[in-house]
Chains A and B, each alone.
Chain A
Amino acid sequence: MAYFPILSFITFLPVLGMLIILCLPGTQEKLIKGLTAAVTATQVVLAGIILHSYNYSLSGVFQQNSFQFIEKFRWIEISGLSWLGTVKVDYFLGIDGISAPMVLLTALISFIATLSSWNISKSVKGFMALFLLLDTGMMGVFVSLDFFLFYVFWELMLLPMYFLIGVWGGPRKEYAAIKFFIYTLVGSVFMLLVMIGLYFSAKELLPNGTSAFTFNLLSLMDPKNYTATGILSPLNPHNLRFVAYIALFIGFAIKIPMFPFHTWLPDAHVEAPTPISVILAGVLLKMGTYGIIRISYPIFPEITRQLAWYIALFGMINIIYGALCALAQKDFKKMIAYSSVSHMGYVLLGMASLTTVGINGAIFQMFNHGTITAMLFLIVGVVYDRTHTRGLDDFGGLALKMPVYTFFVTIAFFAAIGLPSMSGFISESFVFLGSFSVDSIRIITMFSTLGILLGAGYMLWALQRVFLGKFNEKWNMLTDLTVREYLMFIPLTIVIFLLGIYPSGMLNIMNTSVNSLVDFMNKMPANFSMLGKF
């Protein structure tokens, strides 16, 4: 196949769209929406092409030659001085089994979110421009293999997200937007520090025989590259790797969001407009767990193993605490938001098992949570658009008036509960299989399964309160789904069932990589034997 920079294209296409939109007059709302839809649809097509030509046998993770669709160029090169060395930053993109599902997810969810933003009426131009910038940021995070690049994309999303919540959000939008911004920025300044620390700890061999400090994630994974004196180098007896790991983990944990850093999420979700909630739950939360698997795990394998129990513990807290909070909510959207906290707990639990099954389950759960929660938020959006209220107790018997809608709601709810034949079931059972097989976290796993029970509780209770029971005559004028809403729900429903019945479609993509990641992590102690002092 002739070389085509497909990853750059899928990443920067939205920026291109944004620039075109900025040149259009703001009154051309139809055109702007159409263009955004076209851009995101193209992304879906590109993601399809990536999936089609994806080589299932290549592992990636820590070997550059087994990454796919690699693009690597020197981006910044500052010639060396005796005391500074060469500074170089690569424009390094590539995907493997860990990032491929996320790329697919991002493309799909962005497209769906575009459709759901069709009835945005307040300055459409600004909304779509910021939305596309956000899209680039998300896609960039999942495809970049250079820490610097990763960080730039990671931060790139903050500003658009701030405005998207702050301008188009609900009554407390300003509070929610700034809370989201500050929380995430605190996390990312820690990440920045770890990034600089890592940069000074590892040197990459250059083709001309000299070596230079590097931001390249793959070079940072290789213990051979570490210098004897670097502050985050395992060879340095006084290294700060433990502290750095925790700082980095907090950076990612805020995004997941992991208890106790989760308080921004309900606020952000409740205030954000529907498409942004969809993006937030569908993609943004995944960046936290993705970051841990992509960066924390292979760069700090020895500390990950030490702390796996705690990660599992926090996973359990997330699951149970999130579920209990969801049970207590009276606001439909807030309930879904807390269910996200709970479901992301499964991801943490699966990751903490450090087994192939568990991590496979975690990544699969990331994808499934993305699609299922996106659907749940769309569901809230549909009813909110029509009634401008989200109170769970304000409705009742909606099934009579909106049967098709209720059909999709039931599918989404059951998928979220984890009913067999739907995707959520597979990933959750993989997570439990993986974590149950590890002695140290078996008890935690057993408690975590309570989350499923609670999940069924809040979901079914909500279903009952809103859709069953006595019809509330106040909502007599409600209409069922429109064609556009069908278009949003059908693809997600198909994906949910398809992956429930034929999970191998997704599992095969990640299996090789996850295997190799687990191998890599278990193999490490030999080289890192000097570690573990902490």
Chain B
Amino acid sequence: MEFNTIYNNLFYLVPEIAVSAFLLLVVLADLILGNNKKLLPYLSIAGMLVAGFCVMNQMTFSGAVFSPSGQSKSFGMVTVDSFGAFFKLLVVISTILVVFFSFSSEEIKKSTRRQGEYYTLILGMVLGMFLMISATDLILIYLSLELMSLSSYVLTGFTKLKDRNSEAALKYLIYGAVSSGLMLFGISIVYGLTGSTNLYVINTLLQSPQINMLALGIAGILIFAGIGYKISAAPFHFWTPDVYEGAPITITAFLSVASKAAGFALLARFIKVTFVSSVAPSGHWLLIPVFPWKELLIVISILTMTLGNFTALWQTNLKRMLAYSSIAHAGYLLLSVAVLSNQGLVAMLVYFAIYAFMNLGAFFIVMIIANKIGSEDLEDYKGLGYSMPFLGVTFGMFLVSLTGLPPSAGFIGKLYLFIALVDANMITVAVIALLNTVVALYYYIRVLKEMFLSKPTGEPVSLRLSPLSLILILVMLAPVVIFGVYFTPVVEFAKSCITILGM
């Protein structure tokens, strides 16, 4: 590739370049400003706003860039399309919210001197996610996954305040290393079979019959292990509860939304680009019959949601409960990939758009309450609904939405998922998923029970919310309430964003 092509192609990478630039700015500012770290979060937010603005521009056009030599322009290493733009936007929004969370987090405030690293690493994660969302080359997929993972390992152990903190980081690192090793092995097998790491090239090669199915099957499972680890699908979910409990809440929230979103974007794109030969007029994807993705994904998703939901029932720590709940949600989301259709894609986008707000909202309120009472144990939530009525009621609304009861937005996410399932004639799966919702109700409602039905044990604590927290809660609550009653905008938006550039 000559300089000119690279230069022209850079246009497609503007958001990534913006994130990198601001990442360096934060490092520099951290060095120059010395002990005054007040500016850093604002700088990160500015960076996210710029990146978000650049992403908005990508909504309308698509293209694949950095093609391997000798291939036509449509085989790229990086693909820019509206699907990617949607997820990048989601990452941007959740990053901005998480940076705002960090303002009011006691945990983060305590480590003033190292704030520079904190924001740098967050931006590093964002860069990794951006690349992961757009990557259509196995090497880039692996690199971006590692970039994101490495940043998040450090962030998990960032505060170093508790033993749990370091334990979580170490666990995360070990599990992560194993799964990325597996993934790399899978990638090498695919390369051996096809002679290429470019997903588009692999796709065309897979359509010819002389492929060793066994080797490809093993490779598929290995690569899925790497991605499944990121989206915490069973049986690769073991790290999730420990890490979510041990990490600072801001990071837990970030991992449960942004990193999961990037993982799902990668999974959907990987399957669509590599294994789908064409899309039928009915919106269903025609899979190249080399690997049983549908069956695998269905089994994994049912396993994931059932495990997540049933284990969440026994949790007494709220962060841990929300961790298992997010595993269960990953199960539902996997179903939207498993239907292998455009309907499923719409369901996935709608679900994510809503899930981001309700999950971040729930974590934020847990954080505010933990700041005040110094605990995330359900035991200590007894009677909180009366001493902090506003937080109690809004937390209740987020939890109801996570359960998926109408008229909250969570219901719309579930509704679209079930519509996609019924449309693909997966009735049994839909029944299992629905019964799972009932199980989920039990642990979400248990929190409400403790807050409103139980008598407070200790002294009632009252809490004055800072204006920023109030605004943040309302900002996250608004979509949860509004999209529940009037969901046209979010669905229209999702529908306009399902173009995955593929064969």
A and B associate in one complex? yes
A158 to B406, CA, bound (A): 10
A61-76: which have CB < 8 Å to B?
75-76
Interface string of A156-186 (1 = CB under 8 A from B): 1011001100110000011001100110011
Residue of B411, B425, B495 touching A231 (CB-CB under 8 A): B425
A9 to B471, CA, bound (A): 32
Known interface pairs A174-B453, A181-B441, A192-B418; A84-B343 also in contact (CB < 8 Å)? yes
B419 near A196: Cβ-Cβ < 8 Å:
yes
A182 near B442: Cβ-Cβ < 8 Å:
yes
- For chain B, the bracket of interface size reads 35 or more
Q: Residue of A at shortest CB range from B425?
A: A231
The answer to whether A81 has its CB under 8 Å from any CB of chain B is yes
A177-207: which have CB < 8 Å to B?
177-178, 181-182, 185-186, 189-190, 192-193, 196-197, 199-200
A197 to B442, CA, bound (A): 26
The answer to whether A446 has its CB under 8 Å from any CB of chain B is no
Interface string of B160-203 (1 = CB under 8 A from A): 00000000000000000000000000000000000000000000
A191 to B173, CA, bound (A): 45
The answer to whether A152 has its CB under 8 Å from any CB of chain B is yes
A82 to B342, CA, bound (A): 11
The answer to whether B407 has its CB under 8 Å from any CB of chain A is yes
- State how many angstroms separate the Cβ of A246 from the closest Cβ of chain B: 13
B408-459: which have CB < 8 Å to A?
411, 415, 418-419, 422-423, 425, 427, 430-431, 434-435, 437-438, 441-442, 445, 448-449, 452-453
Enumerate chain A residues within 8 angstroms of B415, measured Cβ to Cβ: 192, 196
Residue of A82, A167, A178, A196 contacting most chain B CB atoms (<10 Å): A196
The answer to whether A485 has its CB under 8 Å from any CB of chain B is no
B492 near A178: Cβ-Cβ < 8 Å:
no
Known interface pairs A78-B492, A155-B405, A159-B405; A83-B435 also in contact (CB < 8 Å)? no
A270 to B282, CA, bound (A): 53
B423 near A200: Cβ-Cβ < 8 Å:
yes
A181 near B283: Cβ-Cβ < 8 Å:
no
A60 to B364, CA, bound (A): 50
Enumerate chain B residues within 8 angstroms of A84, measured Cβ to Cβ: 283, 342-343, 346, 495
B453 near A182: Cβ-Cβ < 8 Å:
no
B430 near A193: Cβ-Cβ < 8 Å:
yes
Q: Residue of B at shortest CB range from A123?
A: B386
Kindly specify which of B68-76, B98-106, B129-137, B483-491 makes contact with the partner chain. Answer: B483-491
- State how many angstroms separate the Cβ of A228 from the closest Cβ of chain B: 14
Residue of A81, A83, A166 touching B453 (CB-CB under 8 A): A166
A349 to B434, CA, bound (A): 31
Q: Residue of A at shortest CB range from B489?
A: A78
Main secondary structure of the interface of A (DSSP, over half): helix
B283 near A83: Cβ-Cβ < 8 Å:
yes
Enumerate chain B residues within 8 angstroms of A240, measured Cβ to Cβ: 427
- State how many angstroms separate the Cβ of A127 from the closest Cβ of chain B: 12
A178 near B427: Cβ-Cβ < 8 Å:
no
Interface string of A77-97 (1 = CB under 8 A from B): 111011110010000000000
Q: Residue of B at shortest CB range from A163?
A: B452
The answer to whether B34 has its CB under 8 Å from any CB of chain A is no
Q: Residue of A at shortest CB range from B412?
A: A76
A182 to B346, CA, bound (A): 30
A156 near B407: Cβ-Cβ < 8 Å:
yes
Residue of A76, A190, A192, A197 touching B486 (CB-CB under 8 A): A76
Residue of B427, B434, B453, B491 touching A189 (CB-CB under 8 A): B434
- State how many angstroms separate the Cβ of B426 from the closest Cβ of chain A: 11
A189 near B487: Cβ-Cβ < 8 Å:
no
Q: Residue of B at shortest CB range from A190?
A: B434
Enumerate chain B residues within 8 angstroms of A408, measured Cβ to Cβ: none
The answer to whether B89 has its CB under 8 Å from any CB of chain A is no
Enumerate chain A residues within 8 angstroms of B422, measured Cβ to Cβ: 193, 196-197, 200, 231
Known interface pairs A78-B491, A200-B423; A152-B407 also in contact (CB < 8 Å)? yes
- State how many angstroms separate the Cβ of B126 from the closest Cβ of chain A: 31
Known interface pairs A83-B343, A152-B407, A231-B427; A178-B419 also in contact (CB < 8 Å)? no
- State how many angstroms separate the Cβ of B401 from the closest Cβ of chain A: 12
Residue of A159, A182, A186, A240 contacting most chain B CB atoms (<10 Å): A159
- State how many angstroms separate the Cβ of A159 from the closest Cβ of chain B: 6
Residue of A78, A156, A163 touching B488 (CB-CB under 8 A): A78
Known interface pairs A77-B488, A155-B405; A82-B281 also in contact (CB < 8 Å)? yes
The answer to whether A151 has its CB under 8 Å from any CB of chain B is yes
Q: Residue of B at shortest CB range from A177?
A: B453
A182 near B438: Cβ-Cβ < 8 Å:
yes
A14 to B282, CA, bound (A): 44
Enumerate chain B residues within 8 angstroms of A192, measured Cβ to Cβ: 415, 418, 434
Known interface pairs A83-B281, A84-B495, A231-B422; A193-B453 also in contact (CB < 8 Å)? no
A134 to B435, CA, bound (A): 25
Sample (10) of A-B pairs whose CB atoms are under 8 Å apart = A83-B341, A83-B343, A163-B453, A166-B453, A182-B442, A189-B434, A189-B435, A189-B438, A193-B434, A196-B419
Extra A-B contacts (18), CB below 8 Å, given A166-B449, A185-B437: A76-B488, A83-B282, A84-B343, A123-B386, A155-B406, A156-B407, A159-B405, A163-B448, A163-B453, A177-B449, A178-B449, A185-B405, A186-B435, A186-B438, A193-B430, A193-B431, A193-B434, A200-B422
Task: Tell me the A residues contacting B by CB distance below 8 Å.
Answer: 75-79, 81-84, 87, 123, 151-152, 155-156, 158-159, 162-163, 166-167, 173-174, 177-178, 181-182, 185-186, 189-190, 192-193, 196-197, 199-200, 231, 240
